[in-house]
Amino acid sequence: MNYDLEDWEPKTKVGQMVKDGTITDIDEIFEKGLPIMELEVIDTLLPDLDEEVMDVNLVQRMHKSGRKVNFRVIVAVGNKNGYVGLGQGKSREVGPAIRKAVDDAKYNIIKVRRGCGDWGCVCGREHTVPFKVSGKTGSVKVTLIPAPAGLGLTVGDVGKKILTLAGIGDVWSQTSGQTQTTVNFANAVFEALKGLSKVKASDKSLKQLGVCSI
C-alpha cells in the first residue's frame, strides 16, 4: 500500500521521531526495542522494499449463513540487504488480501545477521548465514547452514525467495516434515532467520565469522 508521506501525521512517539528526523535509521528502533505501530515508519526508513507473493490459497469455512470463501495470501518483503519480513492476509478478493499481507509483512520486519561463516570461505563478505540455525513451524523444520561464496541457495523455492529478499546468496539447508505446505515452510525459514539474532557470541567470534550486521 502506498502512503503519501508528506501528508503523514504520526500518531505514535516513534512515528513522530521518524517524521521529525530524530530517528533516521531503523536499527535505532530495533536496538531500543521500540514498537512499530505505523506503516509509514517502515516506508520512510526502508523505502526500497521488494515484495514477493509466496502463496495464494482459497480458505473455506462454514457459517450459519452459508459457506464463506476467502483468499489467504502469504507475502515476503525485503530490501535484499539484511532486512526481511513475512506476513499473511485474508480477504474475499485477491487484491485486498495481498495488500493486507504486505502490510503484515512490514510490521514483521526483522534484521538478519549475515556473514561468512563457512570454514572453507575466507572472502569476508556478508553472503551467507554466520552459523547453523534452525526454525520450526508445524511439522516443518528447516536448518540453514553456512555455505561458501558461489554455491547459491540449496533450499526449496519458497526458501530461496525469502533468503534472496534478506540478502543471503549462499546457504546449505536441511529440511524435514511436510515441506510442500507453503505457509509452514515459509514460516520455518523465517523463524530460522529470526533465530540468528538470538545466538550469543563474543565480538571477536562475530568478527571472525565476518558478521557486520549484528
Domain assignments of the chain as residue spans, ordered by start: 5-45, 50-109, 133-208
Q: List, in order, residues 6 or more apart from 205 with CB less than 8 Å away.
A: none
pLDDT tier at 60, thresholds 50, 70, 90: confident
Order across the sheet with 50-63: list the strands.
50-63, 66-78, 83-91, 110-111
Give yes or no for residue 95 having a pLDDT over 60.
yes
Sign of CA dihedral 45, 203, 150, 196: negative
Lowest mean pLDDT among 16-30, 110-124, 166-180: 110-124
Give yes or no for residue 1 having a pLDDT over 70.
no
What confidence score (pLDDT) does residue 210 get?
59
pLDDT tier at 59, thresholds 50, 70, 90: confident
Instruction: Provide the strand spans (E) within 23-169.
Output: 50-63, 66-78, 83-91, 110-111, 133-137, 140-145
User: Measuring CA to CA, how many Å separate 86 from each of 18, 76, 170, 172, 188?
Assistant: 23, 4, 20, 21, 11
Kindly state the average pLDDT of the residues 109-124: 84
The domain made up of 133-208 is a member of CATH 3.30.230.10: yes
Kindly state the average pLDDT of the residues 149-177: 95
Q: List own/partner pairs for 118-122 with CB under 8 A and 24 or more apart.
A: 118/146, 118/147, 118/148, 118/170, 120/148, 121/146, 121/147, 121/148, 121/149
The three grid cell numbers given for residue 68, joined into one nine-digit string: 464463506
Q: Name the one residue in this structure whose C-alpha cell is 525459514.
A: 189
Q: Which CATH number fits domain 50-109: 1.10.3720.10, 3.30.450.20, 3.30.160.20, 3.40.50.300?
A: 3.30.160.20
Q: Minimal CA–CA distance to 111: which of 143, 80, 83, 139?
A: 83
The span from the CA of 63 to the CA of 61, in Å, is 7
Give yes or no for residue 212 having a pLDDT over 70.
no
The span from the CA of 64 to the CA of 89, in Å, is 23
The span from the CA of 9 to the CA of 12, in Å, is 9
